[in-house]
A and B are shown apart, each in its own frame.
Chain A
């Protein structure tokens, strides 16, 4: 009995290895294919086609209708909204109810965007064309810039904040210039920041945030047809009801409040 088991060891080993060899070859070939496979070119063409189609559509609607653009970070994108609309989508929806003309809304916001990244997008030539045909631009930006100090030790905050603020001011000036260059007549709605830490004791951060809002307010309101929409007070006493489960982005109710405020401010611009 034992002898026959001993005899079987070698054949069993050999057979299992022979069976396994094709799988190993398959695995290695797959690994090579995956790490140095050919580039996919068609995707790029798709992207360009989309842009072209879009601008044709916009031109059609533009006689008589309105084209609205949204730019910026996850707030502009609508992250956290159960209906996926965000303040931008909700504002457009309300506008659509009031006005009797077709509205096209394009949302080019990207989660995590900082102002420098938004500026890059504005500098894109194709995007400049898109800007020319726009009646209103909604922007939410800066939250990711100011939040980046959180990764640093508290002792370095003041200095880091000042650096970020300087860069932000320059970039904001450039943003305003870019928009006006391409489109002198559009209404620009710029969203203020709200505080995420009403519950936490962090007076330093609140101070930075208020300063940030004040600077933005001053720079935005200087310009013709630029409006700054405060959101700080909207969340002050009802943070939990207005935030999504990630405790960072507003939920549907939070976005609804922002949209209501925007509508109140911009209605005259469209009904005149």
Chain B
């Protein structure tokens, strides 16, 4: 049988098994809740600010923003401000100018902001959990239901079966990321009303000698930023998916497979907190999941990490897991 139709068959099986629809359901419910919560918090903050300043109308934001912009521009005239400070003033001024030009109150939330925040918040735990849910039964279910014996009787080599499962998984990981983007966009657009995809976002932090270097910061549009975060999300999904596939080959029951993956995901995160000064922790996959933090400039729990290092570690884990999966699957005995 051709690999193309084998992969198609695997994709079809996963979608028909309704696992993917469970994921869609979880996404809709959770994103809906997050969006509502965010909306509620923003409204409350705004009314609190208005109360504190003694103004009835939050429309005064223009005046305040103008004042802030004026302050920043005057600070730029000072030739004795260090270069690092100058860069951050420039990007902040650029943001304020955007808000004024587009007539957007900086304290309100946009759909685009929600989209990138959602990925930033889910990349290290929620997204891996979804992928585990998707991938953990990919081989073990065949063992549980006994269909694996039927598969083996076909004149298809074992490696081809696993390859088709692997490729199907790789495709569906991307589908999950796309679903996240579409659902987040749809729900947040309904909740927050405006897109805000051209808003400048501050990024470009670098880690130099274990410290955050802001001398090269710049702005990119929120749309580009979303592309970056969701692409990095795919790398995480890719890596976690391969590990889940390996576990699924190693154990027979789907429940055990999900359990092993979840406990290593959560346990590894705890471990990295307790022994964070031990150098080996930086090679744990858990520590390297927060890829988007390199964009937003949030500090890492373990020093010495960079975007390329973290991606490298994740891909190595994926490669090792794939090799183990193939090795075991090709030679294991299928009993009972």
Interface centre among B8, B85, B205, B228 (most CB of A within 10 A): B228
Q: Is A27 within 8 A of B218, CB to CB?
A: no
- Quick one: given A17-B171, A23-B231, A27-B232, are A35 and B71 in contact (CB under 8 Å)? no
The stretch among A43-51, A155-163, A170-178, A190-198 that forms the contact with chain B is A43-51
Query: What 1/0 mask marks residues of chain B from 301 to 329 whose CB sits below 8 Å from any chain A CB?
Result: 00000111000000000000000000000
B122-175: which have CB < 8 Å to A?
Answer: 171-172, 174-175
Question: A13 near B: Cβ within 8 Å?
Answer: yes
Interface centre among A34, A77, A127 (most CB of B within 10 A): A34
- Quick one: given A20-B174, A37-B216, are A245 and B53 in contact (CB under 8 Å)? yes
| Chain A interface (Cβ < 8 Å from any Cβ of B) | 6, 9-10, 13-14, 16-17, 20-21, 23-28, 30-32, 34-37, 39-40, 43-44, 47-48, 50-51, 54, 77-80, 82, 84, 107-111, 121, 124, 126-127, 245, 247
B210 CB to closest chain A CB (Å) equals 15
Q: Is A35 within 8 A of B232, CB to CB?
A: no
Q: Is A16 within 8 A of B178, CB to CB?
A: yes
One of B79, B80, B171 near A14 (C-beta < 8 A)? B171
Rounded to whole angstroms, the CA-CA distance of A30 and B232 in the bound complex is 10
Tell me what chain A mostly uses at the interface: helix, strand, loop, or mixed.
Answer: helix
List of A residues within 8 angstroms of B75 by Cβ? 77, 110-111
Q: Is B79 within 8 A of A51, CB to CB?
A: yes
One of B178, B227, B306 near A27 (C-beta < 8 A)? B227
B305 CB to closest chain A CB (Å) equals 11
Interface centre among B54, B70, B78 (most CB of A within 10 A): B78
List of B residues within 8 angstroms of A78 by Cβ? 71, 74
B75 CB to closest chain A CB (Å) equals 7
List 11 A-B pairs, Cβ < 8 Å.
Answer: A13-B11, A27-B230, A27-B231, A28-B235, A34-B204, A35-B204, A39-B215, A47-B79, A50-B79, A77-B75, A111-B71
Q: Is B205 within 8 A of A28, CB to CB?
A: no
Q: Is A28 within 8 A of B224, CB to CB?
A: no
Rounded to whole angstroms, the CA-CA distance of A139 and B295 in the bound complex is 39
| Chain B interface (Cβ < 8 Å from any Cβ of A) | 8, 11-12, 15-16, 52-55, 64, 67, 70-71, 74-75, 77-81, 83, 85-87, 171-172, 174-175, 178, 203-206, 215-216, 218, 220, 224, 227-232, 234-235, 291, 294-295, 306-308
Rounded to whole angstroms, the CA-CA distance of A247 and B53 in the bound complex is 8
- Quick one: given A10-B11, A16-B178, A54-B79, are A31 and B295 in contact (CB under 8 Å)? yes
Rounded to whole angstroms, the CA-CA distance of A85 and B235 in the bound complex is 51
List of B residues within 8 angstroms of A28 by Cβ? 228, 231-232, 235
5 pairs of A and B residues whose beta carbons are closest in the complex: A27-B231, A27-B227, A10-B8, A50-B79, A31-B228
Rounded to whole angstroms, the CA-CA distance of A76 and B305 in the bound complex is 41
Q: Is A35 within 8 A of B307, CB to CB?
A: yes
- Quick one: given A27-B230, A31-B232, A43-B86, are A82 and B67 in contact (CB under 8 Å)? yes
Q: Is A108 within 8 A of B78, CB to CB?
A: yes
